[in-house]
Chain A
């Protein structure tokens, strides 16, 4: 055994990077291939610019108009984040109440589950009227409602799908309800909660952007996408969509990072490494 030298840190890092590259390489290749195909087909088939601009044009616009695009993106992201925080906090709070008083849960959950299947985004024009089209709260409201139901349903499932013996064990230690929540139900719910938060992060971005399609200030990304498309400035519309995508993916990854940090113990977190 002793003849095998431990690899020095540099080698190990290199090795990890190489392994990382091997697993990333196919995805990167597909991306480049896809972009190349898009660019080539648009040129070869002489696709009209307003139907589909080539990626190179979108990239140029993305760069040239970066200040305006990113400031609009940031404005919309703040709406999404606000809605996410409101919706998720409310979802978690209601889940805790329903997990504690189960009778209440059987009265309310059928509606929550049904609401989860409703296209809530359809209410966007109505929240716009409630809070005022120019008020960011109107977008936060729709994002919050979008986030609320999946978080409620999943958090409640996590809080209640506890092995009965786990509860008996806690009761054998003379634990009260608060302690059972703190030590068993809440940790047990975290994997469920995080999958809901990931879904909610995506929904919040959708809610904010689509809410803006129905009206909002000129600073908002959704409004800019809608207006550029209406004015045939398709490169700008596509570049704005790219900004929305980058923000949406970053938001999602931030939740994944938070999940890793709080749930390092979880087998799924280990397996993904």
Chain B
């Protein structure tokens, strides 16, 4: 068995001195090169889980291994890049300098940095916008800058927390396609948090379904759609089957709450 990119063993996290359980008993192995989506209703702890992998939140229990080391060591080694729902670009930096930020902090010299940033600008197709400031860009373009920044130092792992959640449907679908192209080109492992069933099916190699209160993994659905995925993928019968399967998995929890199910059926 090859070393997992991310390995979670009985990971739990409680807040407010143990009174609120965000996630519990999380076991998950992500192989290098996989595209894993975490999906579930609000409060299921999927963003918390992403932050635990990124060593931005400390788990209350369990073990987290990223790239064969502790999450803390992985963060210190720059093993992952992260993209949030908001692009979190710095207004005082141009597109180029936003992308270069992690490289500056890692102490890359100027010429190496410039060459790398140029590559990244091409990768996310922002040529011509290098000297712009973030507020001059559309939401989709800002998010592409954030992706370029997250990938600029070639991390093995890309953590994404609802990166396209604030975008309109058309922009989201286009960026989904671009993200898959970038994923194929870089060969990185992706851990992707989303609310969207269609997005999770379209992007992922496996979808991790979570339920809330407390946040747990209820099901892991392999997505066997052929690669590379294109616009046509969304129109294949298999795509719809998987969407239905995922939807049922997500609503599986409501079998215990018939009133909720009846409300949804209306």
Q: Are A168 and B82 in contact (CB under 8 A)?
A: yes
Q: Which residues of A contact B (CB under 8 A)?
A: 163, 165-166, 168-169, 171-175, 179, 183-184, 187, 190, 263, 265-267
A171 to B94, CA, bound (A): 21
Q: Are A267 and B54 in contact (CB under 8 A)?
A: no
Q: Are A175 and B88 in contact (CB under 8 A)?
A: no
8 Å CB contact of B90 from A174, A179, A184, A267: A184
A168 to B56, CA, bound (A): 7
> Secondary structure at chain B's binding surface: helix, strand, loop or mixed?
loop
Q: Are B88 and A183 in contact (CB under 8 A)?
A: no
The 5 A-B residue pairs with the shortest CB-CB distance in the complex, in nearest-first order: A165-B84, A265-B92, A165-B88, A187-B92, A174-B76
- Is residue B29 within 8 Å, beta carbon to beta carbon, of the partner chain? no
* B56-78 interface (Cβ within 8 A of A): 56, 75-76, 78
Q: Are A267 and B135 in contact (CB under 8 A)?
A: yes
Contacts of B86 in A (CB 8 A): 163, 165
Q: Are B78 and A174 in contact (CB under 8 A)?
A: yes
The number of inter-chain residue pairs (CB within 8 angstroms) is: 52
8 Å CB contact of A172 from B75, B106, B133: B75
- Is residue B164 within 8 Å, beta carbon to beta carbon, of the partner chain? no
Q: Are B88 and A171 in contact (CB under 8 A)?
A: no
A44 to B170, CA, bound (A): 71
Q: Which of B81, B90, B135 has the most CB of A within 10 A?
A: B90
Q: Are B80 and A172 in contact (CB under 8 A)?
A: yes
Starting from the known contacts A169-B84, A171-B56, A265-B94, 14 additional A-B residue pairs (CB-CB under 8 Å) come to A165-B85, A168-B51, A169-B88, A172-B75, A172-B80, A173-B106, A174-B76, A174-B78, A187-B90, A187-B92, A265-B91, A265-B93, A265-B133, A267-B135
Contacts of B80 in A (CB 8 A): 172
Contacts of A183 in B (CB 8 A): 90, 101, 105
Q: Are A173 and B102 in contact (CB under 8 A)?
A: yes
B72 to chain A, nearest CB (A): 9
A184 to B88, CA, bound (A): 11
